[in-house]
């Protein structure tokens, strides 16, 4: 087997590259392997790979040359997204989000396929699906509405063991006008009813026009403290909004969230994709949020991924963390140079919880179908731009790998 050095310094075998070209599953498994190696996460029996295959459903066997499925997990409709989370004081973790039913003709079928994939995964790792069952009748009606049925995520442990899993559900499943009712009911089923007034009156205070309930999520598997999570997307948001919402948890949380946005977005207005708040609740005190997370769609605020990488690196350095893994992760998920496109880093997020250091997460799009062209950097001198012959629009997807 020939060893090949790619430009990002990750050594791959020739066979792996050829293998990577055939199906979406191959493409994503190859990237998971590389990401695990970059993060020093061992997958001794290939069981994480197998679980990824399971969680991709029929998407795993889709030829990479076929059109993209109608998934909203990623901008280019790849039904998967990777992320690396950097807990201060603990080892980074590799995660992947998927849509197992992405090829289905209806949302109902999409939900069935998603449940099936989770059932198989639960059987092979031996964990119960009880948390999902609690909200089954709410989120899987006979004729679901909304934009997706079921997304799944897997978080790999730093040392070999059972991954943590998560199921994401759509609060718009009974129509966009009922999202608040659905979230209120879902929280009640987990004993979190006391949290509802805070959410409805303060976090989603501008509901239904600007604040929208985007996701409801439940943890599955061996989490130390399994959570349920409510996500609110804030359309037409600004730094005052960030200060107001994050400041509900503590003054410090508000300050840190504003600082995070300043570094990650470099602006005080967010009028493209909405920043997304996430409140998590655990069994210990189900009425009080255990953590507050702000997700920022960094790809809307940068010219290219070199720029997004620098923003992510600043956030990590601010937590006193090294940036080597960030660069290795970018090289593991993509073969292009970060400056040659935008959207490889889709979101940056900051989790804040009492008595824990803030946790930065970098979300990485596999770009199996398309790379969005980099924008021209405004700071570049005009003279250099006009002399440049390279085209500004690049469909930079290298031949299927």
**Footprint (CB under 6 A) of ligand TRP, residues 232-291:** 276
Out of 72, 202, 236, 395, which residue is the one contacting ligand TRP (CB under 6 A)? 72
Candidates 363, 366, 369, 372; binder of ligand TRP (CB under 6 A) is: 363
Q: What φ, ψ does residue 73 adopt, rounded to 5°?
A: -60, -45
Contact 75, 44 (CB under 8 A): no
Rounded least distance, CB 81 to ligand TRP, Å:
5
- Least distance in Å: CB of 16 to ligand TRP? 26
Query: For residues 335 and 223, what is the distance between their CA atoms, to the nearest angstrom?
Result: 33
C-alpha–C-alpha distance, residues 301 and 307, integer Å: 9
Site string for ligand TRP, 341-360 (x = CB under 6 A): -----xx-------------
Binding segment for ligand TRP (CB under 6 A), chosen from 13-21, 39-47, 66-74, 127-135, is: 66-74
Does position 292 interact with ligand TRP (CB under 6 A)? The reply is no
Distance CA 218, CA 226 (A): 8
Among candidate residues 224, 223, 352, the one with its CA nearest the CA of residue 279? 352
DSSP letter (8 states) at residue 172: G
How many other CB atoms are there within 10 angstroms of residue 124's CB atom?
13
Q: Which is nearer to ligand TRP, 10 or 152 (CB)?
A: 152
Judged by CB under 6 A, which stretch of 68-76, 174-182, 300-308, 310-318 contacts ligand TRP? 68-76
Q: Judged by CB under 6 A, which of 73, 217, 279, 351 binds ligand TRP?
A: 73
Total number of residues binding ligand TRP (CB under 6 A)?
Answer: 9
Structure tokens at 333: 């998920």
> What are the angstrom distances between the C-alpha of 168 and each of 98, 217, 302, 318?
10, 4, 28, 30
Provide the H-helix boundaries in 209-362.
239-246, 251-265, 305-318, 324-333
CA distances from 2 to 14, 18, 37, 232, 334 (A): 5, 12, 19, 49, 20
Rule CB under 6 A: which of 76-95 touch ligand TRP?
A: 81
Q: Which is nearer to ligand TRP, 14 or 272 (CB)?
A: 272
Distance, CA of 219 to CA of 103 (rounded, Å): 24
28 near ligand TRP, rule: CB under 6 A: no
Residue 295, interface with ligand TRP (CB under 6 A)? yes
Stretch of 67-75, 183-191, 336-344, 390-398 lying at the interface with ligand TRP (CB under 6 A): 67-75
Q: Which is nearer to ligand TRP, 10 or 232 (CB)?
A: 232
Q: What is the binding site for ligand TRP (CB under 6 A)?
A: 72-74, 81, 276, 295, 346-347, 363
């Amino acid at each position: 087997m020939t060893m090949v050095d790619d430009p990002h310094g990750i050594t791959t075998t020739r066979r792996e590259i050829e293998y990577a070209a055939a199906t979406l599953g191959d493409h994503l498994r190859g990237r998971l392997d590389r990401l695990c190696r970059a993060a020093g996460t061992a997958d001794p029996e290939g069981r994480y790979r197998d679980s990824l295959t399971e969680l991709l459903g029929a998407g795993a066997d889709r030829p990479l040359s076929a059109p993209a499925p109608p998934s909203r997990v990623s901008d280019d409709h790849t039904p998967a997204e990777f992320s690396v989370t950097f807990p201060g004081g603990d080892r980074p973790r590799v995660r992947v989000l998927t849509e197992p039913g992405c090829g289905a003709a209806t949302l109902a079928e999409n939900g069935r396929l998603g449940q099936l994939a989770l059932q198989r995964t639960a059987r092979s790792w031996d964990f119960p699906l009880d948390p999902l069952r609690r909200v089954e009748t709410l989120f899987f009606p006979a004729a679901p509405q909304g934009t997706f049925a079921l997304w799944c995520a897997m978080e790999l442990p730093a040392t070999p063991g059972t991954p943590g899993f998560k199921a994401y559900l759509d609060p718009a499943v009974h129509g966009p006008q009922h999202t608040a009712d659905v979230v209120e009911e879902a929280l009640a089923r987990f004993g979190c009813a006391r949290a509802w007034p805070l959410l409805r009156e303060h976090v989603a205070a501008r509901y239904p026009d600007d604040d929208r309930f985007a996701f409801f999520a439940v943890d599955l598997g061996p989490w130390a403290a399994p959570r349920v999570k409510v996500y609110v997307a804030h359309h037409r948001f600004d730094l005052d909004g960030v200060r107001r919402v994050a400041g509900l948890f503590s003054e410090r949380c508000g300050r840190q969230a504003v600082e995070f946005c300043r570094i990650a977005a470099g602006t005080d207005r967010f009028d493209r994709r909405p920043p997304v708040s996430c409140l998590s609740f655990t069994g210990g005190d189900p009425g009080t949020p255990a953590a507050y997370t702000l997700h920022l769609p960094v790809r809307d605020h940068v010219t290219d991924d070199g720029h997004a990488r620098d923003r992510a690196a600043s956030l990590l350095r601010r937590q006193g963390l090294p940036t080597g893994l960030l660069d290795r992760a970018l090289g593991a998920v993509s073969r292009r140079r970060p400056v040659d496109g935008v959207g490889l880093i889709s979101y940056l997020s900051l989790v804040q919880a009492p008595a824990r250091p803030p946790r930065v997460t970098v979300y990485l799009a596999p770009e199996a179908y398309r790379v969005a062209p980099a924008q021209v950097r405004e700071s570049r001198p005009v003279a250099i731009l006009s002399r440049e012959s390279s085209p500004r629009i690049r469909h930079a997807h290298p031949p299927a790998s």
